[in-house]
Chains A and B, each alone.
Chain A
Amino acid sequence: MKSVDELNLPEDYRFAEDHEWAKLEGDKVRVGLDDYAQDQLQAIVYVELPQVGDSFKKGEPFGVVESVKVVVDCYMPVGGEIIAVNTALVNSPQLVNESPYDEGWMIDVKPTDVREMDTLYTSESIREAILEKMEEEGQ
């Protein structure tokens, strides 16, 4: 597993407590899993995504990610309507590991309140939070 310094947490992204990332692109928000999440999960074998047209509030689960031995829910960093899902993940779930911020994106959201982006962590603050967590667990 990567050390906290090895983690890629790009500055122009925002991050949720559960390690989803959110990026504002015009009037839509693109969402995926950050480098810490994919590194912890290791090889991802399956991604379950919602349907286009579904709506969720901030913090509600929108999908599921599975590795061989672990299942985790993915939570909305901002609330809104799903306007696109990355269907490439059906046959290539490993894209989340290989390219978490780019080809491994999960959903596009039309946000109900774009100000919810401001409540998210920045690249710097999420790195601090991860460091704190690692120290707690004695790593």
Chain B
Amino acid sequence: MRYLPHTDDDISAMLKVVGVGSLEELFSTVPEDCRKKEPLDLPDPLTEWELNQHMASLAATMATMPEYKVFVGAGSYEHFVPSSVLSLLGRSEFVTSYTPYQPEVSQGTLQGIFEYQTLICRLLGMEVANASMYDGASALAEALLMATRISKKKKVAISRLIHPHYREVVKTYLWPKEYEVLELPYLKDGKTDLSALDGMTELAAIAIQSPNFFGCIEDLAALRKKASEREAMSIASFTEALAYGLLKNPGSYGVDIVCGEGQSLGIPQSFGGPSLGIFASKMNYIRSMPGRLVGKTADKDGKRGFVLTLATREQHIRRERATSNICTNQGLCAMGAAIYMASVGKNGLRELAKLNYDKAQYLKRRLEEAAFKIRFVSPTFNEFVVEFPSNFEQTYNRLLDQKIVAGLPLASYYPELTNCYLLGVTETKTKEDMDILVRGIES
């Protein structure tokens, strides 16, 4: 087997040095009653050629571009990724290296992540960003836990317009410590009803998502004001990082913690993972922040270098009092995001974000012209909710047969929104694609 270099001669020579007669004898310390007696019941090995065929046949069952047009965002976004980004990210010195605990031989990763942290701060208007969390959902859960640690309060309020899966992850994370999770309802215009906070006391944090799950842009100034009044930390979450290439960033409103999903920044959708948990906050919370941090310093000769720092917050030093248990993060995805941000740059980012906005607006208008109802009036970025007529399911299924996925049905997440569908459009959809979709719905 090509991954196992030992020859029989090698094995004999080595067994001699170790002082045992066979490979089996190496396991003398494993008691008999712990042993696996029969061989593992797994498929016989495939040659690389056979495996190529097998994997190709699995991949061929999947509904992806260019054959299929999937008009869905909802936490996972189809964006164009330049070949240069993929090529650089495939360099084995980035891929096959470990966490940079030996900084002298990891300066590539360390400088790369320092640059990532910086670009994220600039994108979100925040003072410090960590080297990544697992995904937007766990980043939000960790942000809420961080707020409970800092404030010593045990209650949090989160908007019902935060991604349904994120809210589930939050509840799972906060359940064993018996923290209370209150949900804020939404208004007819598609934004969170912050007035629902008026009765609530002893809140550690208030979190909303912007753009929210319905695609609507929320009022982050109001969030900040309400949180201040309630003596709670303000947390702004997001699922579509590209929105901040256009919209006013959360930092400019003075939000305490910003956390969300960075998959849009050059990371393939990959059926939901790996993705990129982005986490940023104000500098004065730094010692309570979870995750790794890369800092700039100098070496013995005074040369600039980078190193993991403030590690005393982390599990390998602080153990049960650590700010989180996170160890392995999404490092390579963070590098990928940095390479993407460096490539699209200042000049490309605004144009790309505006293009997303405009394409979505175009589809909205076409649907309105075809007499379909845009459910919420609030401005959106690249996703919005359409209310279709009550027999739309048939049309939806017919469109699936035509290789078009016309949005995500919302009724299972918001039972009051029957016949409502969440549609997403990015720079990957042409005007023609959208015209075909509308014609398909109309007929």
Give residues in A with beta carbon < 8 Å to B. 45-46, 66, 68-71
How many Å lie between the Cα of A76 and that of B29 in the bound state? 47
Chain A positions within 8 Å of B318 at CB level: 71
How many Å lie between the Cα of A76 and that of B309 in the bound state? 29
Give residues in B with beta carbon < 8 Å to A. 287, 311-312, 317-318, 321
How many Å lie between the Cα of A48 and that of B390 in the bound state? 62
Q: 10 tightest A-B contacts by CB? A: A66-B312, A71-B312, A71-B318, A71-B317, A69-B317, A70-B317, A69-B311, A46-B312, A68-B311, A70-B312
How many Å lie between the Cα of A57 and that of B208 in the bound state? 42
In addition to A69-B317, A70-B312, A71-B317, 11 A-B residue pairs with Cβ atoms within 8 Å of each other are A45-B312, A46-B287, A46-B312, A66-B312, A68-B311, A68-B312, A69-B311, A69-B312, A71-B312, A71-B318, A71-B321
CB distance from B138 to the nearest CB of A (A): 24
Chain A positions within 8 Å of B317 at CB level: 69-71
13 A-B pairs (CB sep. < 8 Å): A45-B312, A46-B287, A46-B312, A66-B312, A68-B311, A68-B312, A69-B311, A69-B312, A70-B312, A70-B317, A71-B317, A71-B318, A71-B321
Which of B287, B312, B317, B321 is the most central at the interface, judged by chain A CB atoms within 10 Å of its CB? B312
CB distance from A26 to the nearest CB of B (A): 34
How many Å lie between the Cα of A46 and that of B287 in the bound state? 10
CB distance from B357 to the nearest CB of A (A): 44
**CB nearest neighbor in B for A65:** B312
CB distance from A4 to the nearest CB of B (A): 28
CB distance from B275 to the nearest CB of A (A): 31
Chain B positions within 8 Å of A46 at CB level: 287, 312
Chain B positions within 8 Å of A71 at CB level: 312, 317-318, 321
**CB nearest neighbor in B for A69:** B317
How many Å lie between the Cα of A57 and that of B318 in the bound state? 24
CB distance from A123 to the nearest CB of B (A): 31
CB distance from A94 to the nearest CB of B (A): 16
CB distance from A63 to the nearest CB of B (A): 13
CB distance from B142 to the nearest CB of A (A): 20
Chain A positions within 8 Å of B287 at CB level: 46
CB distance from A61 to the nearest CB of B (A): 11
How many Å lie between the Cα of A45 and that of B312 in the bound state? 10
CB distance from A28 to the nearest CB of B (A): 29
Chain B positions within 8 Å of A69 at CB level: 311-312, 317
CB distance from A30 to the nearest CB of B (A): 26
How many Å lie between the Cα of A66 and that of B311 in the bound state? 10
CB distance from A46 to the nearest CB of B (A): 7
**CB nearest neighbor in A for B309:** A68
How many Å lie between the Cα of A68 and that of B314 in the bound state? 12
Chain B positions within 8 Å of A70 at CB level: 312, 317
CB distance from A74 to the nearest CB of B (A): 14
How many Å lie between the Cα of A71 and that of B321 in the bound state? 10
CB distance from A96 to the nearest CB of B (A): 15
CB distance from A82 to the nearest CB of B (A): 18
**CB nearest neighbor in A for B321:** A71
